[in-house]
Amino acid sequence: MHYRSLGTQGLKASALGYGCMGWGYSGGIKLDAVTFIRQVADQGINFFDTAEVYGPYENEELVGEALHPIRDQVVIATKFGFNIVDGQIKGVNSHPDHIRQVVDASLKRLKTDYIDLLYQHRVDPNVPIEEVAGTVKALIAAGKVKYFGMSEAAAKTVRRAHAVQPVSALQNEYSLWTRQVEHDGILETCAELGIGLVPFSPLGRGFLTGTLNANSTFDPKDLRSVFPCFTAEAMQKNQGLIELLQQIADEKQATLAQIALAWLLVQKPWIVPIPGTTKMHRLIENIGALDVKLTSEEIQKIRLMVESFNVEGNRYPDAVLAMTGL
């Protein structure tokens, strides 16, 4: 396993992390989840991503049980920021008292005395970001948190927060078909301020693996069932991108997923993608991306391919999209 520094605040992690979101509420069985997460660690991955809202709560409990025996060997990231009422998301909430309550509850579910990386999951427009950063700063001083992160925030908001408490990592969607961070100032902000980037959905929520097409269907509980880029029409049109990328994969004797991850990894040395899977052969495949060496010519060829292709459908419904970039 290769390891990377996520920014300049001292946070280090395996070059690939593991997104735990798929376990628990989406049908995972507890014993299977705990066993699998431990097997992920056995493969050398030490960076695990969860959140209170996943489940809600169940995912943190699974991660806590799985990693408790090896707590000193892993980096655990979790998130606050949503208002959860009777198991349902009712908007966002980053009021200081709420943050402190969420952190205490997350610590119990994760069976740990500290959270390595605490993200604000989504910006709360009703709470000044300086208050949020100040609250996390106090939690760091108290030893409950080590590093501060933000997710899907605007560059200007990140800068304001960073002035109060250094931000160690940003978690944003970034992949071959979602490259907004290249155009909205996020990459530049990370480079300037010494912040690491943790791309979620680096495989396009499965689409970039080449296993989905216009005939694919999703369970109503699957978030993709309401995402515009996963309608049958959109997937039919977006197959053209898969066909382009398959050319590179064939030339490199690699899979589409490995090409997608390898491309992300060469963009910046402080990028750590967090693909998620519940299948061991997919996990091994993802780790294999670390051995795929792309030449400068191949990197440029891939970029030209994806930039020449117009992806059909937004990554989120409008209401969800409105919660990002604040």
CA distance linking residue 142 with residue 136, whole number of Å? 10
Averaged pLDDT of the chain: 96
Cα 94 to Cα 83: distance, rounded to the nearest angstrom: 8
What is the model's pLDDT at position 30? 81
Q: What is the pLDDT of residues 136-157, one digit of tens each?
A: 999 999 999 999 999 999 999 9
Secondary structure of residue 311 in the 3-state scheme: coil
Q: What is the pLDDT of residue 31?
A: 80
Q: Residues 87-107: what's their mean pLDDT?
A: 97
Question: How far, in Å, CA of 120 to CA of 133, rounded?
Answer: 9
How many C-beta atoms lie closer than 10 Å to residue 321's C-beta?
13
pLDDT for residue 126: 98
Q: What is the Cα 138 distance to its own chain's centre?
A: 25
Instruction: Please determine, for residue 40, whether its predicted confidence score (pLDDT) is greater than 90.
Output: yes
Give the pLDDT confidence of 167-204 residue by residue, as tens digits: 999 999 999 999 999 999 999 999 999 999 999 999 99
* pTM of the predicted protein model: 0.97
pLDDT for position 296: 97
Residue 27 confidence (pLDDT):
47
The whole-angstrom distance between residue 53's C-alpha and the CA centroid of its chain comes to: 14
Q: Is 3 a catalytic residue?
A: no
Residue of 18, 54, 119, 147 with catalytic role:
54
In the predicted model, is pLDDT for residue 28 greater than 70?
no
What residues contact 78, with CB distance under 8 A and at least 6 apart? 49, 50, 51, 52, 60, 106, 110, 115, 117, 118, 119
Residue 313 has what DSSP assignment?
S
pLDDT, tens digit, for every residue of 294-316? 999 999 999 999 999 999 999 99
Whether 29 has a pLDDT exceeding 80, the answer reads no
Q: Tell me what pLDDT residue 132 has.
A: 98
Residue 26, pLDDT > 70, answer: no
Q: Would you place residue 91 in the very low, low, confident or very high pLDDT band (cuts 50, 70, 90)?
A: very high
Percentage, residues of the chain above pLDDT 90: 95
Average pLDDT over residues 70-83: 98
Full set of structural domains in the chain with CATH = 3-204+264-292 (3.20.20.100)
Please name which of 312, 178, 289, 159 lies closest in space to residue 233, comparing C-alpha atoms.
Answer: 312
Q: Is the pLDDT of residue 125 over 70?
A: yes
216-250 residue pLDDT tens:
999 888 999 999 999 999 999 999 999 999 999 99
Residue 102 scores a pLDDT above 80: yes
